[in-house]
A and B are shown apart, each in its own frame.
Chain A
Amino acid sequence: MRTIPFSEGESPLVLVDLIHSTRVRDVVQSGYCTALKSDTLYDIQVMMKERHVGGVLITDKTGRRLLGILTVANIMKAFEDGTIQETAEHHMTKTVVTLDGEMPLSFAVEMFDKYSFNMLPVLNDEKLIAGVITPRDIIMYLLSSMNEEVAKLEESVKQAQSLIDKTAGADLDGFAQNKSRVLRYVTIRNDFNTAGKISNEIKTVLKEMGIDKKIIRRISVAAYELEINQVVHSYGGEMIFIITPEKVEILAHDKGPGIEDVDKAMQEGFSTATDWVRSLGFGAGMGLPNSKRVSDLFIINSAKGQPTDVRAVIFLDEKKKEEENRESL
């Protein structure tokens, strides 16, 4: 079988994230055919024809515990051997490769790549049948998820563009001189190998734009803390940097799981980080307070089970900062 054309290093981050964050249970289909081990192969092949399936799960009487699997190949062999009127018990495959609902989808893809199965049963924690998964299910799921991701990307580009348009009105010259930029990055859950890269890249960009060193430092600190937060606390997310001649705006948006008590999270010292995160030098409960401290404007929106949205603004021009402050008063 040909290998799947998916490379961690070269594929877009959204796709790498998608295939790692999706679990088998997200894709599993609950519609499947079962038969008892006492059913004859003849009756089972009639059912397979009627229901257009290539495999049947052989279960106990409850229909939930898996005993074996019977596929078209077994049926064909039975016709050949003249055993088609015998029961499933002695002809089914008893050592069945199964998947766990919590396994990452990438593992299921590997299994289909490794074996020539067209269907794999999925079991729940109690080892009972949760459903089956086929390569078709995976393709359909990935296609619709990719569709959603692309739609989100298009929407975020539009939003970013409209934000620039709004902020740009005052200084069209700046745009003409290419002083304004929008940069978008994706963060991946628990990916500590690349954490910090985004903030350091932003720092380089700002340096090249000739922005004041002290201001760059403030922007970098906010970006770094928000980036680390997305990596260690969220299911992954994105960071958009809108750089205009007057200000730098950081929009950090993640996919959840959300902050239960935002006020508490803004208090210095409060942290839900694990020991693993602490061993890497973070998780002291200073991330959000630090980002706020260096920002001129800091807005956070979150709730349990919701995505977290942070908007941090740092003005490049003291006069603009005063003007905006006066307006907001």
Chain B
Amino acid sequence: MTFKDLIEKNKCRVFHLESELENQKVVNVIAGDLMSEVLVEDEENLLLITSLNSEQVLNTANIVDAACVLLVNGKTPQAPMIKMAENFGISLLSTDLPMFEACKSIEN
């Protein structure tokens, strides 16, 4: 599954998308709302799935070099978060699906 597939399948709203990401495959995924747990992750090019809608999500994503943040449960990021995503070069998406469904869609 590519990030393009992910966006289409989960009907994601796109707040920021790095152009080279679209055709990349989703390989490493971490899902959770505890940023300290995300910081333990060692994988590259992460997709971070979370229902936490705060600037600390983007700070955390940047620290672990995540490629993309997917907000679930229809969360809409605030303007400062979108700006951070642009500055850090991290794609920022949102889907109406709950966490479990969003994770399942990738597994399939």
- B residues lining the A interface (CB < 8 Å): 33-37, 39-40, 50, 52, 54-57, 59-60, 62-65, 88
Once the chains bind, are B55 and A290 in contact (CB under 8 Å)?
no
From A203, A213, A221, name the one whose CB has the most chain B CB atoms within 10 angstroms: A221
- Which of A39-47, A69-77, A280-288, A308-316 has 4 or more CB atoms under 8 Å from chain B? A280-288
Distance in angstroms between the alpha carbons of A280 and B54 in the assembled complex: 7
Q: Which of A213, A220, A282 lies in contact with B36, CB distance below 8 A?
A: A282
Once the chains bind, are A282 and B63 in contact (CB under 8 Å)?
no
Given that A192-B56, A281-B56, A281-B57 are contacting pairs, would A286 and B63 also be in contact in the complex, using a CB cutoff of 8 Å?
no
Distance in angstroms between the alpha carbons of A217 and B39 in the assembled complex: 9
Given that A280-B54, A290-B40 are contacting pairs, would A221 and B64 also be in contact in the complex, using a CB cutoff of 8 Å?
yes
Distance in angstroms between the alpha carbons of A3 and B57 in the assembled complex: 38
From A195, A228, A281, name the one whose CB has the most chain B CB atoms within 10 angstroms: A281
**A274-308: which residues lie under 8 A (CB-CB) from chain B?**
280-282, 284, 286-287, 290, 293
| A residues near B36, Cβ cutoff 8 Å | 225, 281-282, 284, 286-287, 290
- A residues lining the B interface (CB < 8 Å): 192-193, 195-197, 199-200, 203, 213, 217, 220-221, 224-225, 228, 280-282, 284, 286-287, 290, 293
Once the chains bind, are A286 and B40 in contact (CB under 8 Å)?
yes
| A residues near B37, Cβ cutoff 8 Å | 284, 286
Do most interface residues of chain A lie in helix, strand or loop, or is the interface mixed?
Answer: helix
How many contacting A-B pairs (Cβ < 8 A)?
62
Q: Which of A203, A228, A282, A284 lies in contact with B62, CB distance below 8 A?
A: A203
| B residues near A228, Cβ cutoff 8 Å | 56
Name the residue on B nearest A286 (C-beta): B36
Distance in angstroms between the alpha carbons of A276 and B62 in the assembled complex: 23
Q: Which of B33, B55, B64 lies in contact with A196, CB distance below 8 A?
A: B55
Distance in angstroms between the alpha carbons of A199 and B63 in the assembled complex: 8
Once the chains bind, are B57 and A224 in contact (CB under 8 Å)?
no
Q: Which of B33, B34, B54, B60 lies in contact with A224, CB distance below 8 A?
A: B60
Distance in angstroms between the alpha carbons of A224 and B60 in the assembled complex: 8
Q: Which of A195, A284, A287 lies in contact with B56, CB distance below 8 A?
A: A195
Given that A217-B64, A281-B52, A284-B34 are contacting pairs, would A224 and B59 also be in contact in the complex, using a CB cutoff of 8 Å?
yes
What would 14 more interface pairs be, CB under 8 Å, given A225-B36, A284-B36, A286-B39? A195-B59, A196-B59, A199-B63, A200-B63, A217-B63, A221-B39, A225-B39, A280-B56, A281-B50, A281-B54, A281-B56, A282-B35, A286-B36, A290-B36
| A residues near B63, Cβ cutoff 8 Å | 199-200, 203, 217, 220-221, 224
Distance in angstroms between the alpha carbons of A225 and B55 in the assembled complex: 15
From B37, B50, B55, B57, name the one whose CB has the most chain A CB atoms within 10 angstroms: B55
Once the chains bind, are B60 and A281 in contact (CB under 8 Å)?
yes
